[in-house]
Amino acid sequence: MPSFARTLDREQIRAVVEYVRTLQGGGDPQRGRALYYGKARCGECHKDTPARSAEDIGEAIATAMLVTVETNAGATYSGITRNEDNYSLQLQALDGTFYFIQKSQVKSIRREPAHASLPKLTPPEIDDIEAYLAGSGSS
C-alpha cells in the first residue's frame, strides 16, 4: 500500500485511521475494563478518563515518560512531567502530589518509558483498553 503522508495531512490520516478502526470492529470495552483493572494494572495509577479517541489513548500509552529527578540536596522525586521550561520542572507523583523543582537545584534527571515495568500487552489487548476508555469513560 502506498504511503499517504505526501498527499494527506496529519488530521486526514487520523480520520482515515479512525474510520478503518470502525470497520475492524475495534476492541471489546468489557474485556478492556477487565484488563484495565487486572493484567494491565492501569487502575493502580490512573483513574478512568473521559472519553477520548482511541488513537489519542494509544499514543498516550506509547509515549508516557516517567521522570526521576535527584536534587543537589539529595532528594529524589519521581512522576510524570506536567510542565517544563528552561528554569523549572513540575512533576506529578504517582500518588497525585505535585512538585515544583527549580532546575538550578537539580543534580540529575532520568527519563524512561512510564509503562516499561508493566506486563506486555498484545495489540488486541491494547485495542480492548482503548475501546473501554474511548467508549465509556468512568461508567
**Residue listed under C-alpha cell 527519563:** 111
pTM over 0.85: no
**Predicted confidence (pLDDT) per residue in 66-89, tens digit:** 899 999 999 999 988 888 999 999
Give the side-chain half-sphere CA count within 13 A for 44: 9
Range of the domain at 46: 10-136
Q: In CATH, what number is assigned to the domain containing residue 109?
A: 2.30.30.100
| Residue 91 forms part of a structural domain | yes
| Residue 92 forms part of a structural domain | yes
Q: 139 falls in which pLDDT band (50, 70, 90)?
A: very low
Instruction: Report the domain count for the chain.
Output: 1
Lowest mean pLDDT among 39-53, 54-68, 87-101: 39-53
Q: What residue ranges in 11-104 does DSSP mark as E strands?
A: 65-71, 76-84, 88-92, 98-102
